[in-house]
Structure 1
Amino acid sequence: MKRASILERLAQLLSRPPGPEERARAAWHLADWLACAAAGRAEPVGSVLAMRPRSGASDDAFYWGGLGNVLEMDDVDKRALLHPGPVICAAALSMGKHKLIGQAELLDAIVRGYDATIRLGRAVGPQHYRFFHNTGTCGPIGAAVAGSAILGHKPERTAHAMALAMSQASGLWQTRHEPRSMGKQLHTSHAARAGIDSALLAEDGFKGPVTILEGEQGFFAATCGSADPNAVLDDNPRWRIHDVSFKPWPACRHAHAAIDAALAIREGVDPSTVESVVVETYRDALVFCDRPEPKTVIEAKFSLQHAVAVALLNGEPTLDDFSDKAVQDETLARLREKILVRQDEELTATYPNRFGARVMVDDREVFIADALGDPENPIQRDQLHAKIRMLLETRGTKSEALKQQCSRLLRNSEPVDPEKLAVAFEEALR
């Protein structure tokens, strides 16, 4: 008897029902994404995406999928090195908007979609991440799962939806080397739409190559020299959404532990008299964020030097701390010049299970093993609520209805209707 493919077995794994704890967690991630996306709409990339005509779930997924990552405040699974929210939540809500479903169906779809994307992201290995943007390459599989869940697909049809989605997987890191590039947002837009298109095609009987992951000319062979295919089918019954981190600060996640350390050390420190600052962290944090002289907003968000200078000088970072004005601020520039970043071998060895950093300011030192928002250092509901309010109140969005919907999701006190939620979201995007 022919052995079932990885995708066929994964579809069976994902068919089990999530429980109340998973739905409550999904509600938090949905609220977090809604706020990130609504605030991201005010940025130039949001204006460009808003110009495209839309006529259905696929178009909605593409538009919404590009918004959640704009401000670099979207959730992240540190072991998979990807951001599930911008892709999975966009895909699930876009399909939910066009189908008569309840809150439970929407949240279950998000839980399953997160699981598929994170499983694949943890399987691809470090050689893949060197060149490929995991959110773009692994996002389509989760978007397809979320869409299939809302359509009520059986595992066989879900497997074909995943196969079709993975046939379209893409996203290269070269985009981060060009500050003007909006390619990172295109990756999340495409991933969300590819998943929805694939689920809709599978609904009509369109078949995909179900051995697309492990096949001799498949995804692992082509893009993942150090892949661990078994990670996709890890039999740990815990839903992976519980492992996903929230991002409290508007910067690359690789800078967050250093920000936390700087915040912890700043009390009693006069930045004007500081002689030296040293940041020690893991290798990838330097690969992505060793940028002593950022010139643009996106470069500032990917600068350990700027992020630590902001935290030492201003306290908890806000969106304004990564604006063009902040990048050009002379006081911040002088402090950035004093900051040396270097690799720590022990922190590199524990990464990506731990995103740690050590900050030394003259004779004072603080070590942070896990950034705020990680499962080991969890964000509290009030903290997440404050982040959401900040995003919706500081970006000029028409957000009162969306704020109310997000509050209901966080409290988990009364059901949220997906169609009404989509309407409130759309109002905030205008």
Structure 2
Amino acid sequence: MSLTSELVSLIRNKPVGQSDLEAAALFVLDTLACALGGLDTGPARMLRAVAPPETGDVARRAFYLGGLSHILEMDDLHRDSVTHPGCVVIPAAWAITDDRNLGGVAFLKAVLAGYEACCRVGMSVGKAHYRVWHNTSTCGPFGSAMAVADLIGLSHERAVWALGNAGTQSSGLWQFLESGSMSKHLHTARGAESGVLAALLAAEGFTGAPDILEGAKGFYAGLCPDPLPDAITADPDRPWELTKTSIKPWPCCRHTHPTIDAAIELHGRLGRAEIVSVTVGAYQAALDVCDRPAPQDPYSAKFSLQHCVAIALADGRVDQTSFDATARARMAPERRKVTVLRSLAVDGAYPRSWGTDVRVETANGRVLEAARKEAKGDPENPVTASELSAKARMLLAGSGMPSAEADRLVAVVLDLPGDRPVRSLGLFPAAPHGEPPLRARSA
């Protein structure tokens, strides 16, 4: 039996409880709020121009919502796989569920299945994969394909074909970071769309390689110098991977979050003391992606440990304005005080733990230190349902959504475990569905 066949069996044999459905609804709320909160951005307007969501093409609709979900950099993160599963899985599942007028329970079960596939493949790729490849983009299509396969009722064999055709579409390179390009939104858009196409083709009898992961010319051979194939089926009875996924409180790369968390603590202890030097001990993957001492644009600043720690120490908070031109200019002298280096202890715990050590020296000779094994929003330090609802309302308000409309969205999503029809969300209807759309206006 191939690894993808074993993965399909594992997922379809996992029991789903009411608490799992309720957890999935929270991640749906987070993803949709991230997507709708980014509607008024330049990348969102470009995505709409190419893939208008009102079209009846379900793959294009998944593409649009997938790209939109990742623009604000506030979507979820599964640490062990280093993936953002929500922005790939949920758009694909929504596009099919909305198109076929399915209920909330089927939708949420598909979300759980999709997260499981994305995260288990992501945990199997090994550390070296991430140095060149964006795990969300390469592993995401497995998740979106699995979600759609469940929604459209594919047989075991055809679900395996769907994963085979999802895997052959895997792509997504980190090179965009060097110029601050927008390609990361394309990664999530294509990750969602690829899974939809793979599953719909499989439904037509379009075959896919069953050994796409472990084959001699497959995924591991081409993209993974140090794969961990056993991770695909390890500990099948543990909780759903969705329940082990983190929620982001700050709008920047998750690799910066432990450092931000520690720096905000130190801000409260610094008082008015002048900072002389800052040392950040990080894990290697964070350095590979976020060692950027002089970011020249907002996106690069969101991937800069130096900028994030400097502004968190200075302001005691991080929000969307923390990365604009004014903030970058204000923090330029503070960033020059920051040294980032690999900590053996922190690196040894990664990816199970995304930690940091932050050390600050002041002009009056004080030395302040703070460490994190996990950040706010991790399963060990979770956001509550009320905190997540507040985050959603904040993101929606930032895009101009009236508070009554935001309250309705939150209520509808949280009611999905009761099998409320997904069309009642009213997101970008391709045709009239009976309820006014939440945000179908031109972005």
TM-score normalised to structure 2 length: 0.91
1:396 aligned residue? 400
Give 2:374's aligned residue. Answer: 370
Report 1:57-96 matches (<5 A): 57-96=58-97
In the alignment, which of 406, 409, 417 is matched to residue 413 of structure 2? 409
Q: Which runs of 5+ in 1 are unaligned?
A: none
Superposition deviation, residue 339 in structure 1: 2.1
The 1:133/1:207 distance shift into structure 2, 3 A limit, reads same
Aligned to 2:49: 51
Displacement, 1:399? 6.9
Alignment partner, residue 196 of structure 1: 196
- Most deviating of 298-307 and 313-322: 313-322
Instruction: Report the Cα distance in structure 2 between the residues aligned to 1:103 and 1:248, rounded to whole angstroms.
Output: 26
Offset of residue 372 of structure 1: 1.0
Q: What do the CA deviations read for 1:223-271 (whole angstroms, capped 9, x no partner)?
A: 1121111211224322111111111111111110010001111114245
Q: How many residues align?
A: 424
Please give the secondary structure, in 2, of the residue aligned with 1:222: helix
| C-alpha contact 2:412 2:425 (8 A) present in aligned 1 | no
Residue aligning to 2:250: 249
Question: 1:140–1:418: structure 2 CA closer, same or farther, 3 Å change rule?
Answer: same
Tell me the C-alpha RMSD between the 2 structures.
Answer: 1.9
Q: How far 1:413 moved relative to its partner?
A: 8.0
Instruction: State which of 31, 34, 49 in structure 2 corresponds to 1:33.
Output: 31
Deviation of 1:429 after TM superposition, in Å, equals 7.0
Task: Provide the rounded CA distance (Å) in 1 between the counterparts of 2:379 and 2:313.
Answer: 25
Aligned to 2:206: 206
| Mapping of residues 340-351 of structure 1, within 5 Å | 340-351=339-350
Aligned partner of 2:385 among 367, 370, 381 = 381
Consecutive unaligned residues in structure 2, runs of 5 or more? 362-366, 428-436
Q: Measure the CA separation in 2 of the matches of 1:137 and 1:385.
A: 30
* Deviations, residues 162-198 of structure 1 (Å, cap 9, x unaligned): 111111111111122221x221111111111110011
Task: Identify the residue that residue 215 of structure 2 maps to in structure 1.
Answer: 215
Distance in 1 (CA, whole Å) between partners of 2:5 and 2:417 is: 36
1:224 matched residue in structure 2: 224
Indicate the SS of the match to 2:44.
helix
The 8 Å contact of residues 82 and 134 in structure 1, kept in 2 or not, is answered as yes
Aligned equivalent of 2:431: none
Q: Which residue of 2 aligns with 1:311?
A: 312
Q: Distance in 1 between matches of 2:402 and 2:220?
A: 44
CA separation of 1:411/1:62 partners in 2, compared to 1, >3 Å: closer, same or farther? closer
3-state SS of 2:249 partner: coil
The structural deviation recorded for 1:62 is: 0.7
2:357 corresponds to 1:358: yes
Deviations 1:37-95 (A, max 9, x none): 11222221111001124332111011111111111111111110111011001101011
Give the whole-Å Cα distance in 1 for the aligned partners of 2:438 and 2:156: 31
CA 1:429/1:232 → structure 2, altered by over 3 Å: closer, same or farther? farther
Q: How much does 1:294 deviate?
A: 1.4
With normalisation by structure 1, the TM-score equals 0.94
State the distance in 1 between where 2:151 and 2:406 align.
22
How many percent identity over aligned positions? 38
How far does residue 377 in structure 1 lie from its aligned partner after superposition?
1.6
Partner Cα distance (2:241, 2:414) in 1? 19
